Amino acid sequence: MPTYTPPLRDMQFVMHEVLKVTDDLKACPQHADIDVDTINAVLEEGGKFAAEVTFPLNISGDEEGCTIDRTTHAVTTPKGFKAAYDKYVEGGWPGLSCDPAFGGQGLPLVVNQCFYEMLNSANQAWTMYPGLTHGAHAALHTHGTDEQKQTYLHKMTSGEWTGSMCLTEPHCGTDLGLMRTKAEALPDGTYKITGNKIFISAGDHDMTSNIVHLVLARLTDAPPGIKGVSLFIVPKFLVNKDGSLGAANNIYCGGLEHKMGIHGNATAQMVIDGAIGTMVGQPNKGMQGMFVMMNAARLGVGNQSLGLTEVAYQNALAYAKDRIQMRSLSGPKAKDKAADPIIVHPDVRKMLLTAKAYAEGGRALATYCAVLLDKEHSHPDAKVRQDSGEMLSLLTPIVKAFLTDNGHISTNACMQVFGGHGFIKEWGMEQFVRDNRINMIYEGTNTIQSLDLLGRKVLGNNGATLKKFGKLVGALVMEEGVNEKMAEFINPIAYLGDQVTKLTTEMGFKAFQNPDEVGAAAVDYLRVAGHLVFGYFWARMAQVALREIAAGNTDQFYVAKLQTARFYFAKLFPETASLMRTARTGSAVLMDTDAALA
C-alpha cells in the first residue's frame, strides 16, 4: 500500500527562503498581517487533512468508482467521499482563500495552492469536487451581478454548494464556437436552456445539496462562432428568493463516462432539457467569464500533476531503499544481504531524481504563479497588477502543459522503479500513472497550450512578456555571473535564454510566411520554454542552498537541493538542444505527407 508525507519542508523552503512570499504579500493591504508562522501552521493542518482523511480513500475510491441510478439520475460517490467532504467543510477549508465579504477567510491564494498540491497528492479524484468550485466561484465573483453573488457565493464559499463548468459537447471540445446548446429568453429575464454536455467533471454527486453549473450556450439570435457564446448559471436545484432550495431544475446526469483514471470523480454526461438559467455577464460575451474558470483550472491541472509526481516519487524512493536485486556494478554495498537495494543502481537513481527534480521545480513555478495571482488581484499598484497578470498569462500554459507532461514522465518512471510490482494494482503506482494521464488532455490539450504560448502569448505581442521573463533571468545572471560555484547553474540558463530569443525570432518570421510553422514547432517550443523557466528557479534554489552551506548550515536539506539541481542541469535540461533542432525542421515534413497518411 502506498504512503504519503506532506512535503512541508520543501514548501517552506520555496515560499520563505527562495521566493520570500510574505514580502510580496505584505504589500497587499488585505494580506498586510500575514506572516511565516501563520502560513506554516495552516499548511501543517492542511497536510494532516490530506494525509489522514483523503489519502486513505484513494485506492478504494478508484476501485469502487461512482455509480448512477438510471431511474432517478442520482450519482453516488465512493464510500467515504461524502464523509471526507463533510470534514473538509467542517474544518473551514473551502473558504481558505475566498473573499471575506462572502464568508471566506481571505488568506493568500498561494496558501490555497500549496494546500491543494497536498490534496492532489492524496486523492486527485476527490479533490476535483471542491477544486472545480474555486473556478466557478472566481467567475461569478468577477462577472456575476450583485444578486447572483449574494445568491450563490456565500454557500459556495462555505462548501454547502459546489460548482461545475459545462463546456464540452459530443461534437466539440476545444472549438467551443461549434457548440449547439441553446438559450431562449423568457419574459421574467431568465432563460430556458437546452442541450447536451459531456466530460463534465464533478457534474453530479451526492456530496452537497446543490451544484452550481456554469453553462455555455447560444442565444437564439446569436452570431455564429465563438462570438455568439453566452454564459449562464444553471443550478441543479432552483433557488428561492429567501435562499432556500426550490424545485429540481431540468439539468441532470444522463450517464457516467468509463475512464482510464480518476474513477472516484463523476465525469458526467449532462442533459439540459429546458433548464432555467440566468445570464452571467453580457450577451454573446460568455467566454470572458469562462476564461476566468479555465485559467484557474489550467493552473489547477498543473497542480494535479505536481501532486501526483510528489506522491509517486515518495513511494518509489521508499521501495528502492527496501527492494534488493542484484549487486552494484562497482561491488557489493549491502554485504550482509543476499543482494543490494536497487537504489544503488545508476538508472534507478536517474528515475528517482527525474521525479524529484520535476516535483521540486514544479513546486517553485506553481508557487511563484500563485503569488503572481495574489498580486494581480490584491496589489494596490495598478502597474504591479498589470505586470503580474501579463507574466501569469505567459506562464499559465507552461504550468498546465510542462508540469503535466513531466508528471507523465515521472509517474511512469516511478512505476518502473517497482518493476513488475509497479504494474500490479495493490501497490498504487499504476493508479498514479492512470490518474495523471487525463491532466495532459483536459482544460485544453497540451498541444492547445503550446499553440497558446507560442502563437498568442509570445508572438501575439512580439515577445514583450517573454522579454520580461528574460530580464529576470538576466538579472540572476548578472548577480551570480562571477560566482564560480554558481557557474554550473548560471551558464546553461544564460545560454538558453539567448537561444530562445533567436528561436522565437525565427518562428515569428516563418509564421508570417506560413501559419502551419507555428503548429509544427509549438509543442517543442513550449518544452524549451518550460526548461528555461525551470532552469531559472533551479538556479535560484541552488543559490539559496549554496549561501546556507557557506554560512555554516549543516542541514542536509541544502546538500540534497544542490545535488538535485546538478542532476537537473546535467540530465534533464540538455534535452532543449534536440527540441530546438526539431522545432526548426519546419512544417513540410509533417504537412507534405498525404501519401504516408493515405
Report the catalytic residues.
443
C-alpha cell of residue 244 = 432556500
Short-list 468, 508, 518, 477, CA closest to 495: 477
Instruction: Measure the CA–CA gap between 453 and 465, rounded to whole angstroms.
Output: 11
CB 282 within 8 A of CB 383: no
Tell me how far apart the terminal alpha carbons of the chain are, to the nearest angstrom. Answer: 48
C-alpha cell of residue 60 = 478504494
* Residue 328, phi then psi, degrees to nearest 5: -60, 145
Short-list 233, 215, 111, 222, CA closest to 168: 215
Please give the DSSP secondary-structure letter assigned to residue 515.
Answer: T
Please give the DSSP secondary-structure letter assigned to residue 215.
Answer: E
Report which residue type is found at 32: A
Helices then strands, counting H and E runs in the chain, come out as 18, 11
C-alpha cell of residue 57 = 480513500
* Residue 531, phi then psi, degrees to nearest 5: -70, -35
Instruction: Measure the CA–CA gap between 22 and 13, rounded to whole angstroms.
Output: 13
C-alpha cell of residue 259 = 475512464
The CA-atom distances, in angstroms, between 108 and each of 135, 366, 371 are 16, 14, 8
Short-list 387, 409, 167, CA closest to 309: 409
Helix (H) or strand (E) holding 560: helix 556-567
Short-list 326, 66, 332, CA closest to 206: 66
Q: Helix, strand, coil shares of the chain as percentages rounded to 5? A: 65, 10, 25
